[in-house]
Amino acid sequence: MEIASSSTKFKWVTAFLLLLACSAAGQVQDGPLVNGNFETPPSGGFSSGDGFSDGPSEIPSWKSNGTVELVESGQKQGGMILIVPQGRHAVRLGNDAEISQELKVEKGSIYSITFSAARTCAQLESLNVSVPPASQTIDLQTLYSVQGWDSYAWAFQAEEDDVRVVFTNPGMEDDPTCGPIIDDIAIKKLFVPDKSKGNAVVNGDFEEGPWMFRNASLGVLLPTNLDEETSSLPGWIVESNRAVRYIDTYHFTVPEGKRAIELLSGKEGIISQMVETKPNKPYRLTFLFGHAGDSCKEPLAIMAFAGDQAQNIHYTPNFNSSFQNANLNFTAKADRTRIAFYSIYYNTRSDDMSSLCGPVVDDVRVELSGSSRVKVFGFGFMFWLLVFVFC
């Protein structure tokens, strides 16, 4: 009887686990979307690349509406060579045109979409990325890199298991062939990392964030996002009207772990977080900041805020290290305290004079200072050491 019931239990558990696995099986995997780089040839092959087809192009795995065109690298328009961010092909959206793809996701989860975009004509181009009802319009006016394109990330919370990701050109230009070019679309399911013990900052090491292509040498821009719940950088918001850049160790120098944030555009690029604090207690904000190893022209300096305290800290170039420690002491006034960072200067790279860059921030911590917590840890450690030694 005992055995029978435990084996039944086992079967139920197995069935449940299988069910979980099955329900997750259909879901989109982290990484590029199907034909997210637009390199899959349409059934009739890619058109020769010099002319514009009349009807809307057919794009494998995508639905389109309006003037949507597959463009090829090297293709010219009005004497200007069109920019294809990656590979040989990308897609261009004319006035009011859109492309979309259906995705199977997990209802309630947060996902981040990474994509590359370039503008074509000099107009104020923008791109509306949405998973209805959520949407954001990304302004493509500011060029952050001299290459003429950038990668961006935008996050949404899935309201259904079946969603549609839509890219729309909301513009109404005189020249209908103007309009943003998009490429390299990927997705990543995000999780909010647990707070580490004693540190009130969530994702203070910036290790959790949007999908990055291994060869994304420009990093990923995180545009304005005031909603902490749907942030591509869990825990943080980008509260300025310009973007900050998410960078990795493959192409940049990062103080700790694999990823960090590079602050761009001076005061126009601010990241912040509301951290849990106890009123009237003394705290210490510590972080690492330094140079991304990307030829950013010095001086570099950072403005750090914690509650009503603010401090500017200048980066001292050091032959041995690309980063340094910084700290700021404050007394909490409430049960939530805002910490924030921006770059004091408006830096550009010395090798191209126009790509935006700036100081890197990483490993952000807010800890009780002078803390009895450390002593408790010390005591606990000694206790176990004694137990270990004597037993």
Ligand X SMILES: *[C@@H]1O[C@H](CO)[C@@H](O)[C@H](O)[C@H]1NC(C)=O
Residues in contact with ligand X by the rule CB under 6 A? 65-66, 86-87, 96, 128, 130, 132, 135, 137, 166, 168, 170, 213, 215, 284, 318-320, 327-329, 369-370
Shortest CB 168 distance to ligand X, Å:
5
Closest CA to 205 of 271, 277, 257: 257
Shortest CB 365 distance to ligand X, Å:
13
Nearest CB to ligand X, comparing residues 166 and 192 = 166
Return the bridge partners of 69, or none: 92
Q: How far apart are CA 155 and CA 111, in angstroms?
A: 5
What is the DSSP code (8-state) at residue 228?
A: G
Closest CA to 271 of 287, 283, 282, 284: 287
b/e code 226-251 from CB counts within 10 Å (16+ = b): eebebbbbbbbbbebebbbbbbbeeb
Shortest CB 129 distance to ligand X, Å:
8
Shortest CB 86 distance to ligand X, Å:
5
Closest CA to 213 of 296, 153, 292: 153
Q: How far apart are CA 289 and CA 299, in angstroms?
A: 13
Nearest CB to ligand X, comparing residues 49 and 66 = 66
Nearest CB to ligand X, comparing residues 129 and 274 = 129
Shortest CB 311 distance to ligand X, Å:
6
Nearest CB to ligand X, comparing residues 65 and 193 = 65
Nearest CB to ligand X, comparing residues 32 and 193 = 32
